[in-house]
Structure 1
Amino acid sequence: MHRRTALAAITGASLSLVTGGATDWTTTPPVAVDGSLTDDTIGPADATERAAADLESDVSFEGDVVEIVECGRTCREVTTTLTNTGTADATAVRVAATVVAGETLVWETDEEIGRLEAGATVTRTQRIDIDVVSALAIENNDRTVTITTTITSAQQTEQFVTETTV
């Protein structure tokens, strides 16, 4: 498994950071959109598929938390960045995140980023304000939450999952 830091924070799912939890994320390897290719035949379609596969390997994402501002007892405004660290532009970029405590969905977001050029960074500020039911769910789950962040693009999908105590 690969290690990344605070990628889920781009969507504001950095609840663990907001509340003092871990900042290290375990990632599942990137999942290719079209799967693997074989060299059984060569033709125009194969060349297109190979080009798409090459592009998939040239797009990669990293995230970082820039600032956390308290806006209330159960509220934080989190400013984060998402960077395309690859050598190719990422298109149709979308970030979805969920924060779950036990069986209770605590917070979720789904945001369209659009095109993210190679080396480019986008900055977002998200307001995370959980309700009393969610706060109790976290407390009743030994203050443990699972944060799942999925970054999809036309080139590939990367998913980051972490369980942390907050």
Structure 2
Amino acid sequence: MNGKLLAVGGVAVLLLAGVGGAFVAGLGPFQAESSGEDISEFPTETAPDDTATADDGSDADGGAASTPPFAFTVDAIEECGRTCRDVTSTLTNQQNSTAEDITVYTRIYAGNTTDGGDVVWEGSEGVGTLEAEESYTTTRRVDLSFGDAYAIERADGWITVRTTVETADRSVTLSDQRKVA
């Protein structure tokens, strides 16, 4: 009888260890609902010749540095579950001209970092065309696996959000660090 009890207990321990491992790794039924996209290459900032700046902050012609071409703000964050947030953000074209073929790429990293780290979420959104001073607002669901949430917890609750705005003629990367837990 003790042999059967020991065998059943061993199976239960193995089963719990497997489920616990999947829980921490974010696999199986515990996997996060991703943005539905697999971004193989994440674009980075490039500055066209007409907006290049010198080390002193002046533009290439010696004048004052111009306003950044885009502003990106997070307007609201609403809880939709323990590891889920609906994030509303706005992109504004701050240029004096129309921006075309706009795509916004966003990656969220665990930790307060400037050189990346564990990617816990990524997504992209096709915006299309924005006239001068026009804005585009959208709400995206950020649903993390328990493993990704744990990575943020291990990083003392800090995340880094890196957003690249890619247009027909330039790419601009914005980065923000936040304490979320």
> What TM-score, normalized by structure 1, do the two folds share?
0.62
Quick one: which amino acid aligns to residue 140 of structure 2? Q
TM-align CA RMSD: 2.5
Tell me if 1:159 matches 2:173.
yes
- Distance in 2 (CA, whole Å) between partners of 1:141 and 1:76 is 19
Partner of 2:133: 119
Tell me if 1:94 matches 2:106.
no
- Distance in 1 (CA, whole Å) between partners of 2:71 and 2:168 is 17
> What TM-score, normalized by structure 2, do the two folds share?
0.57
1:32 aligns to what SS in structure 2?
coil
Quick one: which amino acid aligns to residue 61 of structure 1? F
Q: In the TM superposition, what is the alpha-carbon distance from 1:80 to its structure 2 partner?
A: 1.7
- Distance in 2 (CA, whole Å) between partners of 1:117 and 1:36 is 20
Larger mean Cα displacement after TM superposition, 143-152 or 88-97: 143-152
Structure whose residues are more often strand by fraction: 1
Alignment length (residue pairs): 118
Tell me if 1:141 matches 2:166.
no
- In structure 1, stretches of 5+ residues that fail to align are 1-11, 13-29, 38-56
2:149 aligns to what SS in structure 1?
helix
Partner of 1:31: 46
- Distance in 1 (CA, whole Å) between partners of 2:79 and 2:158 is 21
Larger mean Cα displacement after TM superposition, 119-128 or 141-150: 141-150
Q: In the TM superposition, what is the alpha-carbon distance from 1:150 to its structure 2 partner?
A: 0.7
Identity score, percent = 37
- In structure 2, stretches of 5+ residues that fail to align are 1-34, 36-44, 52-65, 112-116
Q: In the TM superposition, what is the alpha-carbon distance from 1:92 to its structure 2 partner?
A: 1.0
- Distance in 2 (CA, whole Å) between partners of 1:82 and 1:145 is 20
CA offsets 1:76-100 (integer angstroms, 9 cap, x no match): 1122211111110001111111111
- Distance in 2 (CA, whole Å) between partners of 1:68 and 1:77 is 6
- Distance in 1 (CA, whole Å) between partners of 2:74 and 2:155 is 25
